[in-house]
Amino acid sequence: MMKKFKHILIPVFIVASGIAALAASPRLRSILLPGNGPVRPPAAEMPVYDAKADSLFTGLADLCNNISLLNNYLMEGELRVIDQADTAQSVYTRFRYARRDSMQYYQLGDQEMLTLPGLYMNVDHSVKKIMLSPHMPEEQAGRPLIDRAQVDALKKEGYVISKETGTPYTTISLVSNRHISCREYRIAYDSAGLIRSTFMRTTDLDNPLDRSLDKLISMNVVQWQIAGAPAHLFRAERFIERKADNWAPVSTYQGYEIKYIY
């Protein structure tokens, strides 16, 4: 089952890291939708954005950047992928993401990951492996993740952008039915500016004109805890302990194999 998650992890980080507006970027699409060069549909007519639309793009970037400034929080929710091209690949799972300054923790299904100063850990309970690396990803809390150049790049993707104010959430939508890989993206947020749900409708790259084969990716956040993330989530000793110059699984995880990644 975890093999399926490799192309699904990104939506969690899109929201958890506050980079939802980049869902249509080529790099992200290549991770979400691996495939061999599809036949491109005819280019869609590019919309002309007025001041109101421009403000929505700016507001979307501000929303994501404001969340990226949070440095001590927990979010929990559920992720659902409906693969209309291959229903056997559809997935539903719960997730949990927490951050304290540069430390990060997330759990998705049978997989847990920790990013600590000088240590990166991936615990895959489905195969009983603990992967360790001394290298820490460069991403840091408190750094805005979307700049003006990225907003301008998103506008060149040809989406029609709109906003719907409702109760209890406000939704910003990006829609381009003829887009090569991502026809629709929606993000809903509450009055505090916290993301509550996202939705992506991505194409089957082998058949990008057939909407019936689209992949539907939705994520709902059921809990935000911005008063502080639980400290125990960031403790590596829950999983490993020092034995001489090496790491070894703690007694709870005896039988797990440790692999080093350099």
Adjacent-strand bridge partners of 76:
96, 223
Cα–Cα distance for residue pair 57/71, rounded to 1 Å: 24
Q: How confident is the model at residue 136 (pLDDT cuts 50, 70, 90)?
A: low
64 compared with 59, residue with greater pLDDT: 59
- Nearest Cα residue to 202 out of 191, 221, 186: 186
- Does 2 score more than 50 pLDDT? no
Which of these ranges, 13-22, 89-98, 198-207, has the smallest mean pLDDT? 13-22
Cα–Cα distance for residue pair 191/205, rounded to 1 Å: 37
Residue 135: per-residue pLDDT: 67
Of all residues in the chain, the percent with pLDDT exceeding 70 is 79
Identify whether the C-beta of residue 234 lies closer than 8 Å to the C-beta of residue 114.
Answer: yes
The amino acid that residue 154 corresponds to is L
Rounded to an integer, the average pLDDT of 212-231 is 92
Residue 51: per-residue pLDDT: 94
- Does 161 score more than 60 pLDDT? yes
Residue 142: per-residue pLDDT: 56
Q: How confident is the model at residue 33 (pLDDT cuts 50, 70, 90)?
A: very low
- Does 31 score more than 70 pLDDT? no
Q: How confident is the model at residue 239 (pLDDT cuts 50, 70, 90)?
A: very high
Averaged pLDDT of the chain: 81
Helical axes 51-68 vs 148-155, angle rounded to 10° = 130
- Nearest Cα residue to 212 out of 220, 200, 204: 204
Residue 148: per-residue pLDDT: 83
Name the residue ranges covered by the structural domains of the chain.
1-35+44-72+145-228
29 compared with 66, residue with greater pLDDT: 66
- Does 216 score more than 80 pLDDT? yes
Residue 138: per-residue pLDDT: 54
Residue 137: per-residue pLDDT: 55
- Would you give the DSSP letter of residue 218? E
Residues in the chain: 262
92 compared with 257, residue with greater pLDDT: 257
pLDDT tens figures, 186-211:
999 999 999 899 898 989 888 888 99
Residue 106: per-residue pLDDT: 86
pTM, two decimal places: 0.79
Residue 30: per-residue pLDDT: 43
Q: What is the torsion angle, in degrees rounded to the nearest 10, for the CA atoms of residue 19, residue 21, residue 27 and residue 32? A: 90
Tokens of 46: 């590019």
Residue 227: per-residue pLDDT: 84
